[in-house]
Amino acid sequence: MVTIETLLKILRREAYTVEPQKIEGNIYKEIRGKLREIKDRIIYTENKTERKLLKRKAEILREIACELLIIRTQKTLLKKGKGETLEEERKLIQIIEKMLFEEKKPVNQLLMDLKPGKILVRVLDEIPQFVAPEDLKIYGPMKKWDLLFTDRKNIIPLIKGKKIELIGEKR
């Protein structure tokens, strides 16, 4: 189970070594699951103080995860793929390499390579939490300029309402 403490231990270990360290399991998937769990708790928590604490916990978790990804990606790029890398990191590195050296595609199309079958949208206006009509999942809240990978069917009303704009799509 991923916690802030375990992520900090992993981050410290990465910060003091030259090559990416072996990480058991799929840490990024675990982080996404933990963030979803915190998001659900925020929705159903009535206590404002607890809600603020949960939001801050999610922010800290995201910040540590981003730092970890940045450090591991830098190490991998510098070492040309030597050492332990995770699937998400390999995909990101491939996209960065394509963007820098090979492809003439715009960045948004390269990002779509990370999530086939999804669309990439940019939020144009603040959007409160809402339940998507197709999958009945809770989305949001979203801030202006947030980027989101999602299924087209879940956000059609937002596109029509000019709350978001389509950036890229890969089928």
Predicted pLDDT of residue 97: 64
- Give the pairing type, strands 130-131 and 138-139: antiparallel
Does domain 119-169 sit in CATH 1.10.645.10? Answer: no
pTM above 0.95, yes or no: no
Asked whether the predicted pLDDT for residue 138 surpasses 90, the reply is no
Q: Give the chain as a DSSP string.
A: ---HHHHHHHHHHHHT-SSPPP-SS-HHHHHHHHHHHHHHHHHH---HHHHHHHHHHHHHHHHHHHHHHHHHHHHHHHTTT-S---HHHHHHHHHHHIIIII--S-HHHHHHTTSTT-EEEEE-S-B--EE-TTT--EE--B-TT-EEEE-HHHHHHHHHTTSEEEEEE--
| pLDDT tens for each residue of 74-90 | 777 766 555 677 777 77
Asked whether the predicted pLDDT for residue 170 surpasses 80, the reply is no
> Domain segments of the chain: what residues?
4-104, 119-169
Predicted pLDDT of residue 82: 57
| pLDDT tens for each residue of 103-116 | 555 555 556 555 66
Band (pLDDT 50/70/90 cuts) for residue 135 is confident
Predicted pLDDT of residue 171: 55
CATH number assigned to the domain covering 4-104:
1.20.58
